[in-house]
Amino acid sequence: MDTHKQSENEISELYDIFQLAKEENDKQLIHEILEKFINLKKIFKKLEIKCFLSNENDTLDSYLEFHAGAGGTESQDWAQMLRRMYMKWASDRGHNVELISEHKGDEAGIKSSVIKISGEYIYGFLKTESGIHRLVRISPFDSGARRHTSFASVWVYPVINEDIDIEVLEKDLRIDTYRSSGAGGQHVNTTDSAVRITHLPSKIVVQCQNERSQHKNKETCMNMLKARLYEYEIQKRKKESEDIESSKSEIGWGHQIRSYVLHPYRMVKDNRTNYENSNPDKVLDGEIDEFLENSLYKLNA
């Protein structure tokens, strides 16, 4: 509120100076004042966005879960492209990104993966990104250079505070250990310390393989499971769980929230807000702020 009042006072003072500068035809001063107005507009926009980030979980860090749809290598490559887009968005803004788990594709890309993004208001900004994302392009894996449509899903969950009590009963869990698939690179462990936990009543599955210690991987899995269960209960209370589960049932036509078209034209369009961007390369390189802001404005109004 203080920041808002301060900005209003500054606008009033700038307007008075602007009127004087106009009377004296001081073009340099007019230019400087206009620059300050532009900067104030940016400040007001940030304040406005924060008005939509007032829910108790909005300040929390976030897990992002990626799944390739049907279509083999095409969709698996698309799932990896989506993961890179969010990781690039986060790293460009100074947020911390951690790879929690990864199931590599048969030839390229990923079948599934989980990352954790830490920073200010991460869940608040990304919570509307859950859903199916559709890609249309000339396939780099098709020798006939035909156009393909691929689908992948993104699911966003808050990293809940440890002081939130979520009861998880041992009898409701199936815990498996396994070896990481694929080479994994420097960030993914390939020993048998990887852990997968299935919560039998809800059928929620979480897995972690980024630590060399099975104990640490199990601890991370339990934290992820609690986050998933917490979000699950919230959605159930809002009577939205049925819609969420039905949209998860098929990663394909009719469920997409956003389309990324690289051929025959170039456009990224959010199907919920109708916001469009004609430069998909920049969007896929992490420039998704306009989509996030439009979602916050229109879906949380």
Contact of 244 with 229, CB cutoff 8 Å: no
Distance in angstroms (rounded) separating the CA atoms of residues 6 and 49: 18
Q: Which amino acid, residue 90? A: A
pLDDT of residue 186: 47
Range with the poorest average pLDDT among 29-43, 127-141, 248-262:
248-262
Nearest Cα to Cα of residue 293 among 159, 131, 129: 129
Q: What is the pLDDT of residues 83-118, one digit of tens each?
A: 999 999 999 999 999 999 999 998 999 999 999 999
Distance from the Cα of residue 255 to its chain's centroid: 17
Q: Is the pLDDT of residue 239 over 90?
A: no
pLDDT band of 241, cuts 50, 70, 90: very low
- Percentage of residues in the chain with pLDDT exceeding 70? 86
Beta bridge partners of 132: 153, 256
- The residue written with tokens 């079948």 in the block is 111
Tally of CB atoms within 10 A around 55: 14
How does the average pLDDT of the chain come out, rounded?
Answer: 86
Give me the CATH code for the 170-237 domain, please. 3.30.160.20
Distance from the Cα of residue 256 to its chain's centroid: 15
- The residue written with tokens 């979980």 in the block is 57
Q: Is the pLDDT of residue 184 over 50?
A: no
pLDDT of residue 55: 85
Q: What is the pLDDT of residues 255-271, one digit of tens each?
A: 799 999 999 999 999 99
- H or E element in which residue 258 lies: strand 256-261
Range with the poorest average pLDDT among 44-48, 97-101, 153-157, 244-248:
244-248
Geometric angle at alpha carbon 203, from 227 and 246, rounded to 5°: 90
Going from N- to C-terminal start, the domains of the chain cover 2-51, 170-237
pLDDT band of 134, cuts 50, 70, 90: very high
pLDDT of residue 135: 96
Distance in angstroms (rounded) separating the CA atoms of residues 61 and 227: 11
Higher pLDDT, 233 or 78: 78
Q: What stretches of the chain show up as alpha helix (H) in DSSP? A: 2-24, 27-51, 73-92, 122-126, 214-237, 241-248, 280-284, 289-299
- Percentage of residues in the chain with pLDDT exceeding 90? 56
Range with the poorest average pLDDT among 83-87, 232-236, 266-270, 274-278:
232-236
Q: Give the E-state strand segments of 90-232 in sequence order.
A: 96-104, 110-118, 131-138, 147-158, 173-178, 194-199, 204-208
pLDDT of residue 233: 80
Q: Is the pLDDT of residue 296 over 80?
A: yes
Distance in angstroms (rounded) separating the CA atoms of residues 6 and 58: 25
Q: Is the pLDDT of residue 273 over 90?
A: yes
Tell me phi and psi for residue 200, to 5 degrees: -60, -45
pLDDT of residue 243: 55
- Ranked by mean pLDDT, the top range of 37-51, 141-155, 175-189, 233-247 is 141-155
